[in-house]
Chain A
Amino acid sequence: GIQVEQSPPDLILQEGANSTLRCNFSDSVNNLQWFHQNPWGQLINLFYIPSGTKQNGRLSATTVATERYSLLYISSSQTTDSGVYFCAVAYNQGGKLIFGQGTELSVKP
């Protein structure tokens, strides 16, 4: 089955710093989502981005489907950005999501 690898596994930032999280996947996909899992365990949708670039405030994401990777950019990080960031992919648009292992982000004040 498809493999999803996220890097780095852990990241510690000072408030105000920028960061880039990477997601590599081993096969062609038609669905890719980025999530933020907050300390209470809730998975919050960040982006639905099977290809192209999107921006939402301080966050942006780019997926290069032909090269099988996606990047999540966080600018001017805040302590509330702390948590685990997951990338998840699916072969087809309605199918099951396959998650990576996540990147645990800690933003220090």
Chain B
Amino acid sequence: GAGVSQTPSNKVTEKGKYVELRCDPISGHTALYWYRQSLGQGPEFLIYFQGTGAADDSGLPNDRFFAVRPEGSVSTLKIQRTERGDSAVYLCASRRGGGQGDTQYFGPGTRLTVL
């Protein structure tokens, strides 16, 4: 596609439920990143994939958060037993990689609200 796409754009769930957020990177981009942005703050890093593997997952806040990228393209961020503090905008970014470009391009985000 022309840009990074994320679905859904909005997700409202109840405390304790499980959610999945999807990211479609720019076609041909090998690197994919997840960030989280709370109100009034800059985005904070969660996890980085190079191809299918997680190259850096140091930003995942706890073991309720997990992300996969099984075919090296689409990625899913999974949150178990959601808490009200998980409410935020979840942003995905992709980068061409392979020494051909270092700019990260961001999607529109998924706004998650945990009631």
Measuring CB to CB, which residues of chain A are less than 8 angstroms from any residue of chain B? 4, 31, 33, 35, 40-43, 45, 48, 86, 88, 93-102
Please determine whether A101 and B59 come into contact, CB atoms closer than 8 angstroms: no
What's the Cα separation between A45 and B102 when bound, in Å?
Answer: 12
Not counting A4-B42, A41-B108, A93-B102, a sample of 19 additional A-B residue pairs whose C-beta atoms are within 8 angstroms of each other reads: A33-B104, A41-B89, A41-B109, A41-B111, A42-B106, A42-B109, A43-B91, A45-B106, A48-B102, A86-B43, A88-B43, A94-B31, A94-B95, A94-B102, A95-B56, A96-B56, A97-B43, A98-B45, A99-B43
What's the Cα separation between A107 and B44 when bound, in Å?
Answer: 27
Please determine whether A101 and B89 come into contact, CB atoms closer than 8 angstroms: no
Measuring CB to CB, which residues of chain B are less than 8 angstroms from any residue of chain A? 31, 33, 35, 41-45, 48, 50, 56, 58-59, 89, 91, 93, 95, 97, 102-106, 108-109, 111
* Given A41-B89, A86-B42, A101-B42, CB of A96 within 8 Å of CB of B102: no
Please determine whether A42 and B108 come into contact, CB atoms closer than 8 angstroms: yes
What's the Cα separation between A4 and B35 when bound, in Å?
Answer: 16
What's the Cα separation between A93 and B44 when bound, in Å?
Answer: 17
Please determine whether A101 and B41 come into contact, CB atoms closer than 8 angstroms: yes
